[in-house]
């Protein structure tokens, strides 16, 4: 018996109501940034190391004096607090507020963040991803006997590779000690980048809501898989999947005696670092697979072997938002990477070579477009035009 889908409905029209929750969130982020900038002005010795002119993080604040940077942050954050309060108290959206929110979103994403953001996300994926995947596959193997052999093979392969590379208990202990020391040094930069990125996304969403664009949650999603046509969405998704391929290939050479872009002797002396580099490469491979999932059947309907989810439709929201959010973070990293290649002290490496190995400025926008294409593909085409039509906004 074929399940009938709910017919699509057009998005409601009319003035966009100012979203109080998003306004409160943007106001909170601006208040936190203002407090941080104020403390740096009061106590200059607390100014973060990754923002100083001698740092190599690709931050815009590496280019200016710490005092000027702190005052700039304070001014923008104070303006954000005032705008958030004005939006929360307004009864109707205005174009001026929409434009101001969009500008603040761009400033947070492109000026207040740097390469530390992507490093944080990449390291978190490399550290947490492999054990989380094995645990999940282990739980799934309870339902699928075939998966038990897959899990056993993966565990055996991981142990074999680790011992073959010399990663014994002492190396693991040294690696975790070094990682903890690095996190303590970079902790402030990681937190600031996550706060600024979250604030930028919140301001961007607020601008979309104020503009009247309602392309999310206003019409039901398709729950059955339809093979994608070879349209623009199909092509940008394939190209986005190729984005992390050069980095993955480089890291996979660390499995061989001829590691690329590093000294094999140094890795032999620190086998824990070699294993971590391979984990970063596996994270890049995972990014390729997940991007291709935006086109695959399992990106619409969960496979039967998945515990608690098998056979159920995938919610269209989280794959699209994950791709768009990751694409924004990668785009931010692209700006930082180009800046470091042009004005950094280590600028002898050509920018073209950097972009070939880490094509962040191209990969990021392509991944954002792939997320948008997935969202539109999961919704009936006949309602897309109505849902993307802006509602009237007061001047």
- Contact of 66 with 51, CB cutoff 8 Å: yes
Interatomic CA distance for residues 192 and 55, integer angstroms: 15
pLDDT confidence of residue 109: 92
Lookup result for tokens 């590379």:
165
Q: What is the pLDDT of residues 5-15, one digit of tens each?
A: 445 444 444 44
Interatomic CA distance for residues 88 and 66, integer angstroms: 33
Lookup result for tokens 């969009």:
102
**Among residues 217, 210, 202, 200, which one has the least CA distance to residue 24?**
202
Residues paired with residue 4 on neighbouring β-strands, in sequence order: none
Greater pLDDT, 325 or 310: 325
Lookup result for tokens 């800046």:
339
Q: Is 382's pLDDT higher than 60?
A: no
Interatomic CA distance for residues 377 and 366, integer angstroms: 16
Q: What is the pLDDT of residues 316-355, one digit of tens each?
A: 888 999 999 999 999 988 888 888 877 765 555 566 777 7
> Is the four-CA dihedral 90, 91, 96, 98 of positive or negative sign?
positive
Q: What is the pLDDT of residues 149-173, one digit of tens each?
A: 777 787 787 777 666 666 556 666 6
pLDDT confidence of residue 104: 96
Residues paired with residue 301 on neighbouring β-strands, in sequence order: 313
Lookup result for tokens 């997320």:
371
Interatomic CA distance for residues 367 and 370, integer angstroms: 5
pLDDT confidence of residue 274: 79
Length of the chain: 395
pLDDT confidence of residue 4: 46
Interatomic CA distance for residues 112 and 65, integer angstroms: 15
What is the arithmetic mean of pLDDT over 183-194? Answer: 81
Residues paired with residue 94 on neighbouring β-strands, in sequence order: 394
Instruction: Give, as one character, the DSSP assignment of residue 358.
Output: S
What is the arithmetic mean of pLDDT over 26-48? Answer: 94
Assign 390 a pLDDT band (cuts: 50, 70, 90): very low
H-type helices in the chain, by residue range? 20-42, 66-89, 95-110, 115-141, 145-164, 169-211, 232-241, 245-252, 264-269, 271-293, 317-343, 351-357, 360-378, 384-388
Whole-angstrom CA distances from 71 to 47, 74, 95, 106, 109 are 12, 5, 28, 19, 18
pLDDT confidence of residue 32: 94
**Among residues 328, 332, 325, which one has the least CA distance to residue 60?**
332
Mean pLDDT of the chain: 81
What is the arithmetic mean of pLDDT over 57-66? Answer: 90
**Among residues 96, 77, 76, which one has the least CA distance to residue 18?**
96
Q: Which residues contact 143 (CB under 8 A, 6 or more apart)?
A: 305, 307, 310
């Amino acid at each position: 018996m074929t399940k009938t889908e709910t017919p699509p409905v057009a998005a409601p029209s009319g003035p966009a109501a100012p979203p109080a929750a998003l306004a409160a969130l943007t106001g909170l982020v601006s208040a936190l940034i203002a407090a941080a900038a104020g403390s740096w002005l009061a106590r200059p010795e607390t100014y973060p190391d990754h923002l100083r002119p001698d740092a190599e993080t690709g931050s815009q604040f590496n280019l200016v004096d710490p005092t000027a940077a702190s005052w700039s942050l304070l001014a923008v954050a104070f303006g954000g607090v005032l705008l958030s309060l004005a939006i929360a108290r307004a009864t109707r959206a205005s174009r001026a507020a929409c434009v101001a929110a969009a500008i603040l979103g761009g400033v947070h994403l492109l000026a207040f963040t740097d390469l530390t953001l992507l490093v944080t996300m990449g390291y978190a994926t490399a550290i947490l991803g492999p054990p989380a995947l094995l645990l999940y596959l282990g739980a799934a193997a309870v339902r699928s006997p075939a998966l038990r052999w897959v899990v056993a093979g993966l565990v055996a392969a991981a142990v074999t590779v680790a011992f073959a590379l010399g990663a014994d208990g002492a190396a693991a202990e040294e690696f975790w000690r070094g990682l903890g020391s690095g996190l303590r040094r970079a902790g402030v930069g990681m937190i600031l980048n996550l706060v600024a990125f979250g604030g930028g996304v919140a301001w961007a969403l607020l601008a979309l809501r104020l503009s009247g664009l309602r392309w999310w949650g206003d019409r039901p999603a398709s729950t059955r898989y339809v093979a994608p046509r070879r349209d623009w969405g199909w092509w940008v998704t394939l190209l986005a999947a190729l984005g992390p391929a050069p980095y993955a290939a480089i890291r996979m050479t660390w499995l061989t005696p001829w590691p690329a872009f590093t000294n094999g002797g140094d890795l032999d002396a620190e086998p824990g670092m070699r294993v971590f580099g391979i984990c970063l490469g596996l994270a890049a491979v995972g990014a390729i697979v997940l991007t291709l999932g935006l086109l695959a059947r399992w990106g619409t309907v969960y496979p039967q072997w998945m515990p608690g989810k098998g056979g159920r439709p995938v919610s269209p929201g989280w794959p699209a938002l994950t791709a768009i959010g990751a694409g924004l973070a990668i785009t931010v990293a692209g700006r930082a990477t180009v800046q470091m290649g042009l004005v950094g002290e280590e600028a002898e490496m050509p920018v073209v070579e950097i972009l070939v190995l880490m094509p962040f400025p191209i990969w990021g926008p392509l991944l954002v477009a792939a997320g948008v294409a997935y969202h539109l593909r999961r919704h009936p085409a006949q309602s897309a035009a109505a849902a993307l039509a802006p509602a009237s906004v007061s001047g």
